[in-house]
Copies of this chain bind each other. A is one copy, B any other.
């Protein structure tokens, strides 16, 4: 992808993830600084776990803009409040674009580290989704990831498409664009048409022998 466009989308994705954390924290007896931290963790949590697993320096140590953008997200939330969320579908679009981009960033970093393709897909999925899982755990909820829509699965599908493009030798920029679009489009379609996987029905709950 065009470098400038990538940076712009990364900023937008970070902003949207931070907003999603801050909004979920609102109305829960959480103060402004607590909301800032939850927004931050939502935005950088996935990439941080990926870098720990890959034994790389956490990406945000090298670049302060993730902390600044989260600050901007808090400020915008406090100033615009409800008005911001009349833009609901716009923000949802950012969040989804962020998901697509973060997934591809995770895959690219893992490819650079020389890992097998399936590990790269796992790392892409972690990058895209662990921030939201951590946010939900901190807010004491069962993570949305496990419950709704197609989220992690969109990352996995995008990762699969990435490696199909990769092995037929498409140029890197094209491969990344197609893979990111795959994540984004799958998620948009799933939300729009309420497509989701079957739920796992209760199984063997009476016998509590296994821990």
Task: State the copy count for this chain.
Answer: 3
Verify B139–A137 contact, CB threshold 8 A: no
Residues of A123-177 whose CB lies within 8 A of B: 132-133, 137-149, 151-153
- Contact A88 B52, beta carbon cutoff 8 Å: no
Contact with B along A172-210 (1 / 0, CB 8 A): 000000000000000000010000111111111101011
The number of residues on chain A lying at the interface, defined by a beta carbon within 8 Å of a beta carbon of chain B, is 76
Name which residue of chain B comes closest to A20, CB basis: B210
15 additional A-B pairs beyond A23-B210, A52-B53, A95-B211, beta carbons within 8 Å, are A27-B200, A27-B201, A27-B202, A27-B203, A30-B200, A38-B146, A77-B200, A81-B203, A82-B204, A85-B207, A88-B204, A91-B210, A138-B142, A139-B142, A140-B140
